[in-house]
A and B are shown apart, each in its own frame.
Chain A
């Protein structure tokens, strides 16, 4: 059996496509997992996106704890005799997969950007060394656990006519000694940099928070409207919410046009935007690393360049 699990149903839809393909090749069935209250609507949706079966581990736990969720998954793996486990690579998914791998003492590969069978063995690719290399790795034992980030695979077209079986089961799960005291929605400005076609980003070259409006003005002029930033602006200075943060620990983006203003070009930032179409850098330091990763660059003070660039763009495209 091939198992697919994520607490984010959008990622599950994507994983079901790849899971379906692998299951067919392995001659096995594909099962989507739900941990929580039985949800027939969601179960049917999983089936219409490619699952042969849905396994619901019924629980009234409503908060995610990797300690407890890993026991549910362990039970389901044993119950179904599954050997391929695909988990969505958000933060919950990564710690869950890793803990599960420790419990079962089996192989695990995090953040796969491709999964396939090579000589019948599960083989994966993932980006390593801050985007400078791709590691091709292969499992030589089973079960095999992999995690896959969002948007690596496209979902199958939804087919409401697909049929599948829904199994519900309760498990006794040992409670973790840890306690969740508070869960707060992160301050978000509703920005989705991952879907943006044009992004203008800011970094440490900006002297104060108010100055970031220059970036927004340029973004508006190019009709991109999306503002991104490097780590210090979101994580340290908190001038922008973390949904703007582009980089290795932030969001990975691939817009058609990426403009980096006042960003030095630390390798962690490059890892988040290197797949962009055209990259433009604006920096006053001619030696800044960012120019090495850019198609076009202007060496100059962003306080002078940005307003001029905004008005030149307005003149050009009206």
Chain B
């Protein structure tokens, strides 16, 4: 079974700081990582390979330093990596078209796995958009997958309803965080990953002249100013101070 995992390198949002004077987020110098839910997609791919055999290819659209992140996924169990460096300006239109070109180069596939959304933007656009562009079925928000030789069955969390969907191959599946617990690679696996191939490509070599349809005009900060009054002494005293404060705020009636 040939499986493709789409993984995105994102900044670690929990490490992000906001400039106190401009209130704008500071993106430089924030540690990078593979978006959490994409690791769940990777784990699921490994489980499928363990059952049915085959090959796992990871595709990332990102800067050259994303190579280090791809190595983490190779250590987890991917066989091969593909890193496409995007043009200077890109949006979901550009990224999904680059993914399609990269996937065509990879060749035959049965399943494409993605996280339900990346933890930085949390759109959830890339997966279904890619499925639409490829013209293949899509199964979104999968919480459980049962993969047979010629079909996959997924339990999906659709908010008000739980939907069970079945599809033949090829199919694109997006998974949620609940689907599994991504494994931590062993030291041997980390060392072994150094020998696995990462194919680097530029956007132009895949599909030239891609211009975004959506442009970011500005990234505005959000002020999150809170009083931060913390009572930490005697519990009885803390409770009584808190109740007084809440009463003064007018939220107790």
Would B13 and A223 count as touching, CB distance under 8 A?
A: no
Per-residue CB contact flags for chain A residues 86-101 toward chain B (1 = under 8 Å, else 0) read: 0000111011111111
Known: A92-B158, A101-B132, A111-B123. A133 touches B222 (CB 8 A): yes
B223-243 residues with Cβ-Cβ distance < 8 A to A are 224, 226-232, 235-236, 238-240, 242-243
* Chain B residues within 8 Å of A98, by CB: 92, 123-129, 132
A198: Cβ under 8 A from any B Cβ: yes
Would B164 and A312 count as touching, CB distance under 8 A?
A: no
A88-134 residues with Cβ-Cβ distance < 8 A to B are 90-92, 94-103, 105-111, 123, 125, 127-134
Question: How distant is the Cα of A249 from the Cα of B124 in the complex, in angstroms?
Answer: 11
B210-228 residues with Cβ-Cβ distance < 8 A to A are 212-222, 224, 226-228
Would B128 and A102 count as touching, CB distance under 8 A?
A: yes
Question: How distant is the Cα of A182 from the Cα of B164 in the complex, in angstroms?
Answer: 5
Would A181 and B235 count as touching, CB distance under 8 A?
A: no
* Chain B residues within 8 Å of A127, by CB: 222
B6-54 residues with Cβ-Cβ distance < 8 A to A are 11, 13-14, 16, 18, 24-25
Known: A131-B222, A313-B252. A102 touches B139 (CB 8 A): no
Would B242 and A296 count as touching, CB distance under 8 A?
A: yes
B97: Cβ under 8 A from any A Cβ: yes
* Chain B residues within 8 Å of A312, by CB: 239-240, 243
B202: Cβ under 8 A from any A Cβ: no
Would B159 and A91 count as touching, CB distance under 8 A?
A: yes
B195: Cβ under 8 A from any A Cβ: no
Would A107 and B219 count as touching, CB distance under 8 A?
A: no
Q: Which residue of A is nearest B161, CB measured?
A: A183
* Chain A residues within 8 Å of B96, by CB: 102
Question: How distant is the Cα of A222 from the Cα of B134 in the complex, in angstroms?
Answer: 53
* Chain B residues within 8 Å of A309, by CB: 239, 242-243
Would B137 and A99 count as touching, CB distance under 8 A?
A: no
**B218 to A: closest C-beta gap in Å:** 4
Would A110 and B238 count as touching, CB distance under 8 A?
A: no
**A90 to B: closest C-beta gap in Å:** 6
Q: Which of B176, B213, B235 contacts A141 (CB 8 A)?
A: B213
* Chain A residues within 8 Å of B131, by CB: 67, 99, 102
Question: How distant is the Cα of A21 from the Cα of B205 in the complex, in angstroms?
Answer: 44
Would B235 and A300 count as touching, CB distance under 8 A?
A: yes
Would A123 and B217 count as touching, CB distance under 8 A?
A: yes
Would A102 and B161 count as touching, CB distance under 8 A?
A: no
* Chain A residues within 8 Å of B251, by CB: 198, 256-257, 277-278
Question: How distant is the Cα of A18 from the Cα of B208 in the complex, in angstroms?
Answer: 37
Would A305 and B212 count as touching, CB distance under 8 A?
A: no
A236: Cβ under 8 A from any B Cβ: yes
Q: How large is the interface on A (under 10, 10 to 19, 20 to 34, 35 or more residues)?
A: 35 or more
Q: How large is the interface on B (under 10, 10 to 19, 20 to 34, 35 or more residues)?
A: 35 or more
Would B129 and A101 count as touching, CB distance under 8 A?
A: yes
Known: A137-B217, A140-B215, A223-B253. A67 touches B138 (CB 8 A): yes
Q: Which residue of B is nearest A111, CB measured?
A: B123
Q: Which residue of B is nearest A236, CB measured?
A: B178
Q: Which of B125, B132, B177 contacts A110 (CB 8 A)?
A: B125
Known: A133-B222, A223-B253. A178 touches B139 (CB 8 A): yes
Q: Which residue of A is nearest B232, CB measured?
A: A299
* Chain A residues within 8 Å of B219, by CB: 128, 133-136
Question: How distant is the Cα of A299 from the Cα of B241 in the complex, in angstroms?
Answer: 13
Interface of B is mostly: mixed
Would A297 and B137 count as touching, CB distance under 8 A?
A: no
A41: Cβ under 8 A from any B Cβ: no
Would A90 and B159 count as touching, CB distance under 8 A?
A: yes
Query: Which stretch from A28-36, A184-192, A201-209 is at the chain B interface?
Result: A184-192
Q: Which of B13, B158, B166, B229 contacts A181 (CB 8 A)?
A: B166
Known: A134-B219, A136-B218. A317 touches B253 (CB 8 A): yes
* Chain A residues within 8 Å of B229, by CB: 295-297
**A116 to B: closest C-beta gap in Å:** 12
B191: Cβ under 8 A from any A Cβ: no
Would B247 and A297 count as touching, CB distance under 8 A?
A: no
A10: Cβ under 8 A from any B Cβ: no
Query: Which stretch from B59-67, B69-77, B103-111, B114-122 is at the chain A interface?
Result: B114-122
Would A137 and B214 count as touching, CB distance under 8 A?
A: yes
**A38 to B: closest C-beta gap in Å:** 24
Known: A101-B129, A178-B139, A286-B232. A95 touches B239 (CB 8 A): no
Known: A129-B16, A136-B217. A292 touches B226 (CB 8 A): yes
Binding site for B on A (CB under 8 A): 66-67, 70, 90-92, 94-103, 105-111, 123, 125, 127-141, 176-186, 188, 198, 222-223, 231, 235-236, 242, 248-249, 256-257, 266-268, 274, 277-281, 286, 291-301, 304-305, 308-309, 312-313, 316-317
| Given contact pairs A129-B25, A297-B229, A305-B235, a sample of 12 additional A-B residue pairs in the complex whose CB atoms are under 8 Å apart | A102-B134, A129-B11, A177-B167, A181-B164, A184-B161, A268-B119, A294-B226, A295-B227, A295-B229, A296-B231, A298-B238, A301-B235
**CB-CB nearest 3 A-B residue pairs:** A102-B132, A107-B213, A99-B132
